[in-house]
Structure formats: C-alpha cells, structure tokens
C-alpha cells in the first residue's frame, strides 16, 4: 500500500514538460524567445534542459561553450538511438554532450551534421518521425528536468515533424506582417497531418508570440488585429516590439534576466507572464 502511494507520487512529480518554439520562417525570434524563456523558467526554480534542433546552431552559440571541434551533438545522440543505423553509431555519451551553463541551464547543442539528418534516416524501416520522442524517453529526460525547451529550424521537413511528435506544446513566434499568415498556416498543416497519422498525441498550441511589432508603422496594429482573427481561439501572447535590449543581452550571451537595470524590467515581466500562461495551458 505504502509503496503504491510512493511510486504514484514520484511519477506525478517527475513528469517534465517538453515545449518547442516553431516557425518555418527565420528571423522571427524563435531562438531569442527559447533562450529567454529558458531563463524565465530557471528563475522560477525549474530545472531546464535546452535542445538545439536547428543545424545552424544559433541557440547553442548563445551558451558560453568552450570551442571544441570534436564536440558531439544532438545529431550523434539521435543516430545512436536508432538501432537500424548501427553502422553509423559513434562512441557518444549523453553526459559528454550536455553542456552545463554557469547560470544552471543544461544544453544539448546542435551541429552542422544535423542538416543531414533527413537523408541519414531516410532508409530506416522504423518510425522516422519518432526518433526524437524515443530519444527523450530512452534517456528519461522528463524525469530529470522540469522543462525541456526545443529550438526549431526554419524549415518544414523531418526535423520539424520529429519535434512536433516529441513535444507537449508549441509556441509560435511570428512577425505580424502581411506575409506571416501563410507561414503559420503551413506549420499548422503539419500539426494536422501528425494528428491524422495517429502515431502520437498532438502537441498543444501554447500560443502565438507577435514579435518585432512595429509601433511606428501605422498599418501594424491593423495587420495584427487581422491576423488575430485568423488565429481563432488560440492564445496570442503580448507582442514584443523591437528592443535593443535583446541585441545587447544576446551579444553578451545573457538573457534579459541577467540585468538589474530598469530597461530590462518590462521584458522580464513579459517572459514571466509567458511562462505562467504556458504552465496553465500545459496542465489544463
Ligand atoms: N523583439 C526583438 N527586438 C530586437 N531584436 C530582435 C527581436 N527579436 C529578435 N531579434 C533579433 O533578430 C534576430 C533573429 O532572431 P532569432 O531569434 O535568431 O530568430 P529565429 O530563431 O526565428 O531565426 C536576432 O539577431 C535577434 O537578436
Ligand atoms: Mg533560430
């Protein structure tokens, strides 16, 4: 009886959530939001793991990793987790790949190799879409972290499908102009396709994040209102305007939470509000 309750307690406690920042367009703020959101969760006492799933590695470069040409990355871990690809396995250990930042965030970095992921797994018989999901399960990452944040690539291929199949929820940063709507529709179509495949549960929509909202452009507010109508029921987070503080902080590889001065307070508040909404959506 006692042990039953005990194991119940552990399993409900150790159920970290996995979220991703996605948009097939580049330059919309996926990496910026992922990095700052990770630090917002950290400041709330959460144990955070970041996974960089963009072959360009911008997310990884925001962490102060010492340069090491031989450093292995998420690609090696993913390939090693596919039995059928035994011939391509490398001696890679997850603890050697995980980088621990000074602030206390863990990162599984990306690397150029990841751009060949789609081709590398093209011939396998197993579910190509579930490689990341199974990797997270195999290493029991949900029991080691409260939040796992994945930064997505600006594409719509197999990497994106793997991310969407592995996560509990997705945040969609976008620049609210006339061209943003199609991009958001395209990724929703991929989510829809995954739902129809019935191979895994469908990720929740944790909301859209209007970014680089241009308050000086007269048409901007109208554009955003029109886009909001097309987004329907989903949450739309408070818009981020063009903020020099992002450039300044990222140049130092710091989040907005690193700074005490008043000019960062508003951005800190916005990210804290976002974590609260995300927590609510994930647990509803
Ligand atoms: N609200 C913002 N204000 C100012 N600069 C921003 C803002 N959002 C993003 N940026 C900058 O724009 C560039 C692209 O953002 P990034 O997060 O890398 O986009 P993505 O990951 O979608 O390609 C980065 O240099 C980033 O610092
Ligand atoms: Mg990026």
Give the tens place of pLDDT for each residue, 94-147.
Answer: 999 999 999 999 999 999 999 999 999 999 999 999 999 999 999 999 999 999
Instruction: Give all strands (DSSP E) within 109-158, no chain letters.
Output: 147-151
**pLDDT score, position 14:** 64
What DSSP assignment string belongs to 23-89? -SSSSSSHHHHHHHHHHHHHHTT--EEEEE--TT-HHHHTS-PPP-TT---HHHHHHHT-GGGGGG-
CB atoms within 10 A of CB 9: 10
Dihedral sign (CA 185, 225, 237, 107): positive
Report which DSSP code applies to 168. Answer: S
Q: How far is the CA of 167 from the centre of ligand 2 (A)?
A: 18
CA atoms within 13 A on the CB side of 201: 8
5 pLDDT tier (thresholds 50, 70, 90): very low
Please give the average per-residue pLDDT across 222-249, as a whole number: 93
Q: What is the pLDDT of residues 174-211, one digit of tens each?
A: 999 888 888 899 999 999 999 999 999 999 999 999 99
Domain 16-283: what homologous superfamily? P-loop containing nucleotide triphosphate hydrolases (3.40.50.300)
Cβ of 116 less than 6 Å from ligand 1: no
Q: How far is the CA of 246 from the centre of ligand 1 (A)?
A: 8
**pLDDT score, position 13:** 53
Cβ of 250 less than 6 Å from ligand 1: yes
Q: Where are the domains of the chain?
A: 16-283
69 versus 252: the higher-pLDDT residue is: 252
Identify whether the C-beta of residue 163 lies closer than 8 Å to the C-beta of residue 203.
no
- Per-residue pLDDT at 246 exceeds 50: yes
Ligand 1 pocket test, candidate residues 24, 28, 29, most atoms within 8 A of CB:
29
Please give the average per-residue pLDDT across 48-73, as a whole number: 96
Cβ of 58 less than 6 Å from ligand 1: yes
- Per-residue pLDDT at 229 exceeds 50: yes
Q: How far is the CA of 5 from the centre of ligand 2 (A)?
A: 43
Position in ligand 1 atom list of the atom nearest CA 244:
4
Q: How far is the CA of 220 from the centre of ligand 2 (A)?
A: 24
Ligand 1 pocket test, candidate residues 22, 26, 27, most atoms within 8 A of CB:
27
pTM check: above 0.85:
yes
In DSSP terms, 21 is beta-bridged to: 151, 171
Residues 6+ apart with CB under 8 A from 144: 16, 47, 49
Mean pLDDT for the chain overall: 93
- Per-residue pLDDT at 79 exceeds 90: yes
Position in ligand 1 atom list of the atom nearest CA 26:
23
Please give the average per-residue pLDDT across 141-157, as a whole number: 97
- Per-residue pLDDT at 165 exceeds 70: yes
- Tell me the C-alpha distance between 222 and 214, whole Å: 11
Cβ of 17 less than 6 Å from ligand 1: no
């Amino acid at each position: 009886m006692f042990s039953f309750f005990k194991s119940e307690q552990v399993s409900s406690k150790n159920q970290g959530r996995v979220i991703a920042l996605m948009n097939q367009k580049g330059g919309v703020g996926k990496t910026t939001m992922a990095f700052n959101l990770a630090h917002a969760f950290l400041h709330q006492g959460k144990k955070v793991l970041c996974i960089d799933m963009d072959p360009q590695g911008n997310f990884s470069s925001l962490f102060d990793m010492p340069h090491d040409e031989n450093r292995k990355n998420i690609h090696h871990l993913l390939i090693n987790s596919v039995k059928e690809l035994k011939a391509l396995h490398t001696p890679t250990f997850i603890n050697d790949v995980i980088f621990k930042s000074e602030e206390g965030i863990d990162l599984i970095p990306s690397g150029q190799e990841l751009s060949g992921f789609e081709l590398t797994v093209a011939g396998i018989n197993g579910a190509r879409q579930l490689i990341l999901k199974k990797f997270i399960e195999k290493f029991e990452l949900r029991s080691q972290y409260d939040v796992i944040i994945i930064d997505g690539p600006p594409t719509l291929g197999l990497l994106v499908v793997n991310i969407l199949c592995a996560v509990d929820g997705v945040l969609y940063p976008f620049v609210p102009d006339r061209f943003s709507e199609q991009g958001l529709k395209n990724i929703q179509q991929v989510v829809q396709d995954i739902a129809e495949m019935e191979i895994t549960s469908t990720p929740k929509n944790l909301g859209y994040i209007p970014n680089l909202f241009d308050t000086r452009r007269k048409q901007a507010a109208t554009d955003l209102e029109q886009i909001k109508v097309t987004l329907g029921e989903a949450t739309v987070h408070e818009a981020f305007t063009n903020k020099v503080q992002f450039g300044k902080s990222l140049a130092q590889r710091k989040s907005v939470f690193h700074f005490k001065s008043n000019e960062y307070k508003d951005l800190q508040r916005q990210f804290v509000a976002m974590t609260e909404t995300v927590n609510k959506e994930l647990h509803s």
